[in-house]
Amino acid sequence: MSTALTDLITDDRVIIHKDVDTWQQAIAVVAEPLLADGSITIQYVKAMIEAVDRFGPYIVLSPHLVLAHARPDTGVKRQAMSVLTLKHPISFNHPENDPVDIVFCLAAVDADSHIQALKEFVAIAGDRPLQERLVAAGTVAEFQRILRREE
């Protein structure tokens, strides 16, 4: 059974208006809630950073937006997603899509049980005006209302 994006991104997995200096820090910070609730291990955080070191910043899926992720076997315990908005946008060294101001983290358990969530995510990735409203959100509750299209 496929889970919706908004079921995966619970209130405690939303971090808003944070300041970070580097893309590595952005990945570490967005992963914190998933580490705290046991969805992933510290090894998964390292794997997400190593994937970018190895292959370049392909996780910058569209302008200003990142989907940090790695393989399930690098430390995913349970399917989950978290999100971080940045107070000051940072560079991921992407030739086209920098600077980044919103970072999602996907912990997938296999190749396709997150299809429904990813479909909803792709719609967000293609909707910059929606992302701008998410980035501007001042509270987790406001962020969630915008994500859930309740306002």
Partner 1 sequence: MTRPLDICFICGAGLGSSLACQMEAEEVLAAAGIRANLGHEAISGIPGVRADIIVSAENFKPTIEKYELDPDIAFVFLKNIVDKTEIAAKLLPVVQEKEAQA
Neighbouring CB atoms inside 10 A of 67's CB total 20
DSSP at 113: T
Let me know if 94 is a catalytic residue.
no
| C-beta separation of 23 from 91 below 8 A | yes
Beta carbons within 8 Å of 27's beta carbon, 6+ residues apart: 45, 48, 49, 52, 68, 103, 105
State the binding string over 38-77 for partner 1 (x if CB under 8 A, else -): -------------x--xxxxxx-xxx---x-xxxx-----
Bridge partners for 103 per DSSP: 66, 84
State the binding string over 89-118 for partner 1 (x if CB under 8 A, else -): ------xxx--------x-x-xxx-xx--x
Q: How many residues bind partner 1 (CB under 8 A)?
A: 31
Which position among 18, 24, 25, 122 is part of the footprint of partner 1 (CB under 8 A)?
A: 122
Token pair belonging to 80: 């989950």
15 binds partner 1 per the rule CB under 8 A: no
Q: What are the residues binding partner 1 (CB under 8 A)?
A: 51, 54-59, 61-63, 67, 69-72, 95-97, 106, 108, 110-112, 114-115, 118-119, 121-122, 125-126
Catalytic residues: 69
